[in-house]
Structure 1
Amino acid sequence: MDPDSDEVVFDLPEHFRIYKSGRIDRFHRPVLVAAGVDGEASGVATKDVVLDAATGLTVRLFLPKRQERPSGKKLPVLVFFHGGGFIIESAKSAMYHNYLTSLAAAAGVLGVSVDYRLAPEHRLPAAYDDCWTALQWAASARDDWLAEHGDASRVFVAGDSAGGNTVHNVLVRASSAENAARIEGAVLLHPWFGGSTAIEGEPERAVVNTAKWWASACPDAADGADDPRINPTAPGAPALERLGCERMLVCAAEKDWVAAARDRAYYDAVAASAWPGSAAWLETEGEEHVFFLLKPECDRAKALMDRVVAFIAGA
């Protein structure tokens, strides 16, 4: 046995500790919520669906009640990828369950929240592959809820932090995959991007933290934090003008030292490219990374929700 196997390579005391051997201690253990327990209170019914028993891939569906929408009208389908650096969190955690419940009710969408495999036990691209599989499944309308209530011609993808990063990588894959689902719109909420050297406005601690986190989630990345999956503007990264959606909303938070500078750089790069879609930008003043999940009742979180709802509606 390697005597250094218990060497700590990444330690975030409130979240996790990863060892050289790949073993992980998770200190962040979110409260998990069962599906179908709060439908009467929220007006949104939920259920879990197993997509792949072998890998454990599941999704949680969020369906607004029929009385919440015009009779007979089908709902846009929104596939959501949760954050947590690919290492922690779950679609079944109270935080993400509550957010998707609120979003489904406010936007009138049929939500599909993906419970993908986590690193380091399942290193990337496992999470990307799971999210792609879930997107294609959702667009195929094989589930009875999706077949009866979902509009497969209006598919959206959204995600926060690592989930926002996943949105980008799904759009890259959708640009070239055969028989890929048509994606009308993409919402990137404080997406997590990085690079090996700091850009304007990015603190050095963000570069250091991202390098360690990325190495833990994707240890096989030959270019480290300049791997195109974490740094979409790195040399040799896929061309942004080929992103596989028609509209995009990129959201950032002014005081987000983790992601704000990279979020702006990403938006600027997309807007400056020859991508034929329409890109919109929203920066929330005075707030930090994924504040809308941590304090969803604050006025700025409500304003952000309103903007996401308007984007889905086409405004």
Structure 2
Amino acid sequence: MSDEIAHDFSPFIKFYKDGRVERLKGNDIVPPSLDLKTGVESTDIVVSAETGLSARLYIPKTAINTSQKLPLLVYFHGGGFCIETAFSPTYHDYLNSLAASANIVVVSVDYRRAPEHPLPIAYDDSWAVLKWISSHFEQKGPSEWLNSNADLKRVFFAGDSAGANIAHNMAMRVGLSEEELRIKLVGSVLVHPYFGGKEPIGAEVKMEAGFKAWTESFWRLACPSTTGLDDPLINPAEDPNLEKLGGEKLLVCVAEKDFLRERGWYYSELVRKRGWGGIVEVLEAKEENHVFHLFNPSCENAIAMLKRISSFIS
């Protein structure tokens, strides 16, 4: 075993020359449960035994054993495509709160992570979960919760950071795909989306060159086949089909002190300018940093954001 480091992305991940990966955070997991505080129950399902692809489902306990149809949110967790899971206490707590607040069913996708599983694997895994959800269209799918309680005509995508990037790319696939999913995508919620670009925009011009290089090499670690920061997967401005984005409405959440703030605003303006026919909303949290709501869920701005996302969905 070699201790020689190939890439050091502390405090997130270290990649050793012998291929070993050391994740420095996002390693804790919690089991599914009935959350007494929110009254939300969760369970884990295997989507593909072959690849190990799985997801965690959340449902307000009041809906179980009823025929009440609730909107369905498909959630993609953040972590730069490299760290965190759908089973981390951070996401488990957040999605319990969101499922209760919005009164929805949630499917949280545990896609395979880079660098062991480089992009586009996370995108392909996420699409496989959407196809699995689609198999419940006639209430004949493998999950009784989805058969009984998920309204597949009211589906939303959401994610934070890299997960917001996935949510955008899944909405693009829905809009462009000839492989029709039997779900109706109503809208997407992108929280502090992980987008980039070669040319700096807005306040990015003041960004240190070293930090810019760090973000590019982190992206290249996740997606070795990329052309760089102007790859349409990370820079939607370079996507000639942006106006075909799936869904009818879009909520982009940005944070004033987030290094990705400019990209969130730019994306929302871009979607409008390209002639996408849907409704675009932006919510900015003042004085806050990247994914602040996950680390400080009881702060005023996090509560306001939870309410806004809930009303956007329901």
**TM-score (structure 2 length as normaliser):** 0.91
Deviations 1:27-71 (A, max 9, x none): 2143211012x3344301100000011111001000101269xx7
Asked if structure 2 preserves the Cα contact closer than 8 Å seen for 1:171 and 1:243, the reply is: yes
The answer to whether structure 1 residue 167 and structure 2 residue 167 are counterparts is: yes
Letter in 2 for 1:271: R
State percent identity of aligned pairs. Answer: 46
Q: Which residue of the other structure, out of 241, 244, 256, is the alignment partner of 1:242?
A: 244
Q: Distance in 2 between matches of 1:295 and 1:52?
A: 34
Q: Distance in 2 between matches of 1:67 and 1:60?
A: 17
Q: Which residue of the other structure, out of 241, 250, 253, is the alignment partner of 1:251?
A: 253
Letter in 2 for 1:57: L
Secondary structure of residue in 2 paired with 1:224 = coil
Aligned runs of 1:147-158 on 2, under 5 Å? 147-158=147-158
Letter in 2 for 1:165: N
Q: Which residue of the other structure, out of 38, 57, 64, is the alignment partner of 1:61?
A: 57
The answer to whether structure 1 residue 215 and structure 2 residue 196 are counterparts is: no
The answer to whether structure 1 residue 77 and structure 2 residue 72 are counterparts is: yes
After superposing the two structures, state which structure 1 stretch, 12-21 or 263-272, moved more: 12-21
Q: Distance in 2 between matches of 1:201 and 1:139?
A: 41
Asked if structure 2 preserves the Cα contact closer than 8 Å seen for 1:79 and 1:138, the reply is: no
- 1:140 — aligned with what? 135
Letter in 1 for 2:109: V
Q: Distance in 2 between matches of 1:216 and 1:67?
A: 42
- 1:35 — aligned with what? 32
Q: Distance in 1 between matches of 2:46 and 2:290?
A: 31
Asked if structure 1 preserves the Cα contact closer than 8 Å seen for 2:12 and 2:23, the reply is: yes
Q: Which residue of the other structure, out of 165, 188, 191, is the alignment partner of 1:189?
A: 191
Q: Distance in 1 between matches of 2:255 and 2:133?
A: 30
> What 5-or-longer segments of structure 2 have no aligned partner?
none
Q: Which residue of the other structure, out of 13, 26, 49, is the alignment partner of 2:45?
A: 49
Q: Distance in 2 between matches of 1:25 and 1:126?
A: 20
Asked if structure 1 preserves the Cα contact closer than 8 Å seen for 2:35 and 2:96, the reply is: no
Following superposition, the deviation at residue 172 of structure 1 comes to 1.2
Asked if structure 1 preserves the Cα contact closer than 8 Å seen for 2:9 and 2:218, the reply is: no
- 2:116 — aligned with what? 121
Aligned runs of 1:105-120 on 2, under 5 Å? 105-120=100-115
The answer to whether structure 1 residue 103 and structure 2 residue 98 are counterparts is: yes
Aligned CA-pair RMSD: 1.9
- 1:267 — aligned with what? 268
Q: Distance in 1 between matches of 2:93 and 2:27?
A: 13
- Aligned pair in 2 of structure 1 residues 80, 67: CA closer, same or farther (>3 Å)? closer
> What 5-or-longer segments of structure 1 have no aligned partner?
none
Asked if structure 1 preserves the Cα contact closer than 8 Å seen for 2:165 and 2:234, the reply is: yes
The answer to whether structure 1 residue 294 and structure 2 residue 295 are counterparts is: yes
Letter in 2 for 1:61: L
Q: Distance in 1 between matches of 2:303 and 2:144?
A: 32
Asked if structure 2 preserves the Cα contact closer than 8 Å seen for 1:156 and 1:184, the reply is: yes
After superposing the two structures, state which structure 1 stretch, 52-61 or 18-27, moved more: 18-27
After superposing the two structures, state which structure 1 stretch, 225-234 or 55-64, moved more: 225-234
Asked if structure 2 preserves the Cα contact closer than 8 Å seen for 1:77 and 1:152, the reply is: yes
Following superposition, the deviation at residue 138 of structure 1 comes to 1.9
Which runs of at least 4 in structure 1 moved beyond 4 Å after TM superposition?
none
The answer to whether structure 1 residue 130 and structure 2 residue 134 are counterparts is: no
Following superposition, the deviation at residue 270 of structure 1 comes to 0.5
Following superposition, the deviation at residue 238 of structure 1 comes to 3.5
After superposing the two structures, state which structure 1 stretch, 245-254 or 175-184, moved more: 175-184
After superposing the two structures, state which structure 1 stretch, 152-161 or 59-68, moved more: 59-68
